[in-house]
Chains A and B, each alone.
Chain A
Amino acid sequence: MERHFDLELADLKKTLLTMSAMVEETINRAVSSLEKLSPELAREVISADESIDRIEIAIDDKTFDLIIRHQPLAGDLRLILMAGKIGTELERIADLAVDIAQRTLKLAGQPLIKPLVDIPKLSSLAQQMVRDSIQSFVNLDVTLARSICKRDDEADSLRDAVYRELSEIVRRDGGLADRAIPLILVSRHLERICDHATNIAEDVVFLVEAKFIKHCGK
């Protein structure tokens, strides 16, 4: 039977996809603002955050409304609850992009202390994970979702590598701390983005299989 409810669910999914596109875009900009040390790009990232926040609230509102009106059960309920959670994760990712942009503003105006090697790797990993997590949500692709969870370790080791390299530099020359610490923080922000992407992937697995896989195997 045709359900009016399905139209509303489709609408919710669409809103979530719009939000994820905006979030991907904002990560891209944040990373390139760092690579180019461009304060303009960084400011764009910071100002775009507001509209993402608004979408998050809209999604919360919509999920609340759907629960009130339709008393969803089973797959409908999982979809609505997970949509709400994914919205929150995406908003947190956007906040981390803002954090990266703020680090850019700190670093702008002076050359980087070293050419970036691991950070671009980490950032492309983070972007890929975010994109894939959304993809797995759209297609309800559990295999893809599970593969994302495994990539999280890779992100952790890249972050550790950045930390080791930069702490070595600071140990040798304490005066460089101002220019090294923001980069360490960036690596941590990127790693956190990967964590959130992992959460999304875990939510997708719950959505499809009604099984919690988080906090397992760690």
Chain B
Amino acid sequence: MKRNRLLIQKLWFSVLGLSGLIIAIILFALVFFVTTRGFRVINWEFLTAAPKDGMTAGGIFPAIVGTFYLTLLAIAAALPVGVITAIYLNEYADRDSRLVQVSRKAVNALAGIPSVVFGLFGLALFVNFLHFGVSILSGGLTLAIMILPVIIRSSEEALSAVPFSFREASLALGASKWYTIRRAVLPTALPGIFTGAILGIGRVAGETAPIMFTAATFFTGRLPSSIRDEVMALPYHIYGLMTEGTHPEQQAPIAYGTALVLLVLVLGIDLIAIIWRYRSRKMKKW
């Protein structure tokens, strides 16, 4: 009987371990796949020059810059709005009020919308209605809307992880609610909020659909000079290389090289977030 139970326990542990192993294998396979196909094209020129010879040679520098600008704008727009929303939802609003319930459902629904729909929405709102044109501005804002739910949720989590006792201590010293949030709650929640934001960045950096209609161009020889310019971007560049152009067999390796750069970028950003979270967790003892 006892032996039997032990056996079942061992069995389940193996199943659990196996699932973990499968995930690790998938990640490893993916990285291996992209790396083996992509690493040959990567050199200094690839990272620092513009494409040339009808996309069959040269580098991807404009796409790297474009992705950088797009994510920067997205996070700059989404972070304040997201954090303020989270503060409202978590600190101020009466939890049972209709506004809170509606906002919270909206945030959840927003997270579930397919990214291509965001792209269409950005096209309609920013590109056409607000006349921002196909530009960094339109694309960045579209991406911002897309990562808003991630930022709101992670900020809310970070805020509610701040012990109530800090708020009590601050209020008991005669601090107002707003002062308490600014000086006692936010500083404590900040590492958590930033980790959420960084993970959000990692996510938008790799999105193709939202920028397809709003910001990205397959080829431009020059770097953007204002946020009203259209730009190249890494994910869209891969898409373009694989679907357009006249020399698919020469373009494919470049696409894999670009994919490798994108992968390293995204995993790198995630790694930063993980390290940051680890360090801030080690710090806190409440």
A/B touching: CB–CB < 8 A: no
